[in-house]
């Protein structure tokens, strides 16, 4: 893969997408920046000119996704890094959720990612390589109460990406799941929520109070980690963004709890296998 990479980034106008788009351009890479609000990227066009191709894109429009990927290849002649970043939160207690809003959330977070990956794969296979990055979350590892369909969608991203990695490795295509913890990206301002039921307010308050200001990281610091992954000869399947004292500690605790649960119920699980027959 060339030292100067060509990126295709969705959700490029704000949050992590904006940070990673600008950082890739600053280091001399080329970027196809796809966003629902392309005018928010006008300043990057003025600064980087032909090094950036800004495309309007709503990832829920599957035909538009395939068209955008086609435009990207026609413009830069190749794609090296596909970064599926577009997404938003729809959060609330399960009983509160509006099914139509859940579908809309999955349409963006899961099916939007699926469309981008499916559009890019024939190109990457023809090239003999490439790197797909999907963006999960702390909510893709820990399904916290009132996380709503957002956490469910990120669990889906984790499973889909893990399967994808096994399917495309033989074609020289790498897959990395980005797992950010808490960062000051302005993510909360874009979160949608259903009408709150008073009965769930106590647990909601517990969850909100668990988010400490000191746990939130600097989004600008994440770019170096992303570059470490895409520049690595053997990139990780999962890349956590966040410190050991915050994000990684929570992940380890979640996995330890699962291991303890499986160990505690091992006898019951074994009995459920039934008798072994030769």
Q: How far apart are CA 24 and CA 77, in angstroms?
A: 18
154, 161, 174, 250: which is the annotated catalytic residue?
154
Q: Is 90 a catalytic residue?
A: no
Q: Is residue 125 exposed (0-12), middle (13-18) or buried (19+ Cβ within 10 Å)?
A: middle
13, 136, 137, 149: which is the annotated catalytic residue?
136
Q: Across-strand partners of 177? A: 134, 238
Q: Is 4 a catalytic residue?
A: no
Q: How far apart are CA 243 and CA 197, in angstroms?
A: 34
Q: How far apart are CA 3 and CA 180, in angstroms?
A: 26
48, 150, 174, 250: which is the annotated catalytic residue?
150
- Classify residue 141 by its DSSP letter: T
Report CA dihedral (134, 78, 126, 121) to the nearest 10 degrees.
20
44 phi/psi in degrees, rounded to 5: -70, -35
List Cα–Cα distances, 45 to 17, 69, 212, in angstroms. 15, 19, 37
Q: Is 154 a catalytic residue?
A: yes
Catalytic positions are 136, 150, 154
């Amino acid at each position: 893969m060339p030292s100067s990479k060509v990126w295709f980034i969705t959700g490029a106008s704000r949050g992590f997408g904006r940070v990673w788009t600008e950082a890739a351009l600053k280091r001399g890479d080329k970027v196809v920046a796809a966003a629902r609000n392309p005018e928010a990227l006008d300043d990057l066009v003025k600064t980087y000119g032909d090094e950036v191709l800004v495309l309007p894109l709503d990832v829920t429009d599957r035909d538009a996704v395939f068209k955008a990927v086609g435009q990207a290849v026609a413009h830069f002649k190749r794609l090296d890094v596909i970064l599926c970043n577009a997404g938003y939160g729809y959060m609330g207690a399960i009983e509160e959720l509006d099914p139509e809003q859940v579908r809309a959330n999955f349409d963006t977070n899961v099916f939007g990612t699926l469309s981008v990956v499916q559009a890019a794969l024939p190109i990457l296979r023809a090239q003999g390589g490439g790197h797909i990055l999907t963006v999960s979350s702390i909510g893709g590892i820990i399904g916290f109460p009132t996380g709503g369909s957002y956490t469910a969608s990120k669990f889906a991203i984790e499973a889909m990406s893990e399967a994808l990695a096994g399917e495309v490795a033989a074609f020289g295509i790498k897959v990395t799941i980005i797992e950010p913890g808490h960062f000051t990206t302005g993510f909360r301002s874009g979160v949608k929520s259903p009408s709150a039921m008073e009965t769930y307010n106590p647990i909601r308050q517990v969850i909100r109070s668990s988010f400490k200001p000191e746990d939130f990281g600097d989004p600008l610091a994440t770019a170096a980690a992303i570059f470490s992954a895409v520049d690595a000869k053997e990139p990780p399947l999962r890349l956590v963004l966040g410190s050991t004292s915050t994000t990684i500690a929570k992940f380890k605790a979640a996995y330890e709890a699962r291991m303890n649960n499986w160990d505690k119920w091992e006898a019951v699980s074994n009995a459920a296998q039934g008798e072994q027959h030769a």
